[in-house]
């Protein structure tokens, strides 16, 4: 399969267009019917699907290599360790980190943010300090900072956004001051699709010497990431949105910051030595990886990165961009439908509401037609409050989606409107 994908990349380089049917053949789950209709999977923002080559890598580990890492001198443990550390090497390349020790395996973006909150925030943020987040954060990048503020007597400040769902950078500038101790902003909004200017956001925070965490849960699957170019201090994403199994993910941190931070959890594998009087901690990255990790899942993440490289990340992103453009045009044209999130720079997410019809009803009727979308507040309740709506229906695209699927979506939305009229 990798050979097919590789030759596909070569073909594309020679000028041929994205062969979506050949890509779809790599994803077994897509080839099924739901409620008697072909599955149209448009909930990639929640979890994306897993290609056969990643499933095979996970199975191979379980069939032939399953054992604990970093512990045994025996053959299987060494093989498992090599595969696990090999996946870390792939992650390092994927985000262009300077060193593998800057890539900490976590269960996903939520755990990544919590690790930074506990390790950095609890050590370096105190009473009267300020933490800046944005108005379009997922709850995972709100609640941990709120918990920290409550514990320390610090204050949460929020960068507002305009009606299109774009952050107001002048207001951001006005929030930054000598009390600011941390900035945490999403790269791409899961509810609106906005791509935020995170390089600029980071630059402005650095003028005050403030470290920046980028929540890359919705960006890493859809665009090239270069943490050195961004110069962000922390970056996190979840494997299950990146064509890998649940339980995999990464938090990147600059080594000099990770070195100064407290560990997140205590336990096995994160220590140098333990006595009842004192424990000393392991070097990076082990200091942040207490206990037995999700070995099979992280090896799967390594395989998904290989897969993305083989099909061409930029070509995949270009196809998704064209899908979003096409879907926006089609859905905007339907009378009674309002798109929530109309930023100039958007990625892969199309949120919408229909007058007088609750998004849950839209989601239920779409499901009857085999279409999977997410309906709700998308764990971004402040975004819903900002737009004065209870919820949206959200189609989120991956490189294996097709224009025909967008046509089915648009046609079914028209049917929903007919049913309720």
Positions marked catalytic: 379
Of 238 and 297, CB closest to ligand 7TS: 238
- If the CB atoms of residues 78 and 246 are measured against ligand 7TS, the closer one turns out to be 246
Question: Measuring CA to CA, which residue among 240, 173, 235, 162 is closest to residue 200?
Answer: 173
Which CB sits closer to ligand 7TS, 8 or 213? 213
Cβ 186 to ligand 7TS shortest distance, Å: 5
Coil/strand/helix, residue 27: coil
Contact 416, 360 (CB under 8 A): no
User: Shortest approach of ligand 7TS to residue 235 CB, angstroms?
Assistant: 12
3-state secondary structure (DSSP) of residue 64: helix
Say if residues 145 and 121 touch (Cβ distance below 8 Å).
yes
Alpha carbons 383 and 11: distance in angstroms, whole number: 42
Tell me the window of 48-56, 224-232, 301-309, 371-379 that interacts with ligand 7TS (CB under 6 A).
Answer: 371-379
* DSSP strand pairing (349-354 vs 392-396): antiparallel
Verify binding: residue 378, ligand 7TS, rule CB under 6 A: yes
Nearer to ligand 7TS, 101 or 374 (CB): 374
Question: According to CB under 6 A, which one of 218, 304, 348, 351 is a site residue for ligand 7TS?
Answer: 218
**Which residue in 102, 130, 215, 369 binds ligand 7TS (CB under 6 A)?**
215
Interface pattern 187-206 for ligand 7TS (x via CB under 6 A)? ---x----------------
* Closest approach of ligand 7TS to the CB of residue 135, in Å: 13
User: What's the closest the beta carbon of residue 334 comes to ligand 7TS, in angstroms?
Assistant: 23
110 binds ligand 7TS (CB under 6 A): yes
Q: Is 392 in the site for ligand 7TS (CB under 6 A)?
A: no
DSSP string for residues in 346-413: B-SEEEEEETTB-HHHHHHHHHHTTEE-EEE-TT-HHHHHHTT-S-EEEEE--TT--HHHHHHHHHHH
β-pair type (212-215, 180-186): parallel
Q: Count of residues binding ligand 7TS (CB under 6 A)?
A: 17
Give the range of 13-21, 58-66, 108-116, 154-162 binding ligand 7TS by CB under 6 A: 108-116
Q: Apex CA 108: angle with CA 106 and CA 113, to 5°?
A: 80
Binders of ligand 7TS in range 14-73 (CB under 6 A):
45-46
Maximal CA-CA distance, the chain: 72
Of 181 and 378, which CB lies nearer to ligand 7TS in the complex structure? 378
Q: Which is nearer to ligand 7TS, 186 or 342 (CB)?
A: 186
CB 144 within 8 A of CB 117: yes
Residues 246 to 305: which contact ligand 7TS by CB under 6 A? none
Which distant-in-sequence residues (6+ apart) come within 8 Å of 197 by Cβ?
167, 169, 345
Binding-site member from 58, 108, 285, 341 for ligand 7TS (CB under 6 A): 108
Contact 337, 2 (CB under 8 A): no
Cα three-residue angle 388-391-393, rounded to 5 degrees: 130
Residue ranges binding ligand 7TS (CB under 6 A): 45-46, 108-110, 138, 140-141, 186, 190, 215, 217-218, 238, 374, 378-379
């Amino acid at each position: 399969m990798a050979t097919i994908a590789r030759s596909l990349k070569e073909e594309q380089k020679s000028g041929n267009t994205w062969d979506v049917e050949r890509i779809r053949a790599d994803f077994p789950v897509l080839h099924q019917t739901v409620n008697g209709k072909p599955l149209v999977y448009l909930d990639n923002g929640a979890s994306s699907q897993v290609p056969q080559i990643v499933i095979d890598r996970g199975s191979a580990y379980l069939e032939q290599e399953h054992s604990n890492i970093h512990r045994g001198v025996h053959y299987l443990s060494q093989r498992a360790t090599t595969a696990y550390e090999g996946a870390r090497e792939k992650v390092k390349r994927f985000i262009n980190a300077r060193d593998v020790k800057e890539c900490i395996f976590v269960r996903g973006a939520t755990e990544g943010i919590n690790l930074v909150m506990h390790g950095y925030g609890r050590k370096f943020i105190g009473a009267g300090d300020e933490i800046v987040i944005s108005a379009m954060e997922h709850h995972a990048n709100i609640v941990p900072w709120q918990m920290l503020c409550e514990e320390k007597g610090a204050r949460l400040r929020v960068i507002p956004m305009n009606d299109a769902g774009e952050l107001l950078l002048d207001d951001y500038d006005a929030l930054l001051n000598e009390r600011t101790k941390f900035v945490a902003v999403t790269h791409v909004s899961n509810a609106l699709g906005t791509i935020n200017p995170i390089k600029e956001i980071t630059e402005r925070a650095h003028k005050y010497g403030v470290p920046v965490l980028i929540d890359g849960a919705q960006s890493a699957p859809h665009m090239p990431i270069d943490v050195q170019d961004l110069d962000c201090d922390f970056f996190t994403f979840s494997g299950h949105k990146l064509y890998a199994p649940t339980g995999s993910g990464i938090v990147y941190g600059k080594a000099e910051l990770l070195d100064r931070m407290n560990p997140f959890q205590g336990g096995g594998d994160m220590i140098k030595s333990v006595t009842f009087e004192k424990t000393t901690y392991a070097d990076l990255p082990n200091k942040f990886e207490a206990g037995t990790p999700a070995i099979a899942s992280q090896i799967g993440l390594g395989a998904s990165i290989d897969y993305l490289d083989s099909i061409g990340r930029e070509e995949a992103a270009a196809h998704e961009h064209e899908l979003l453009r096409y879907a926006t045009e089609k859905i905007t044209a339907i009378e009674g439908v309002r798109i929530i999130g109309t930023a100039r720079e958007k990625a892969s997410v199309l949120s919408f509401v229909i007058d007088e019809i609750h998004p849950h009803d839209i989601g239920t009727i779409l499901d009857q037609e085999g279409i999977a979308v997410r309906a709700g507040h998308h764990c971004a309740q402040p975004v819903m409050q900002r737009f004065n709506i209870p919820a949206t229906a959200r189609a989120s695209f991956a490189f294996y989606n097709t224009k025909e699927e967008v046509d089915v979506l648009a046609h079914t939305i028209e049917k929903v409107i007919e049913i309720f009229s």
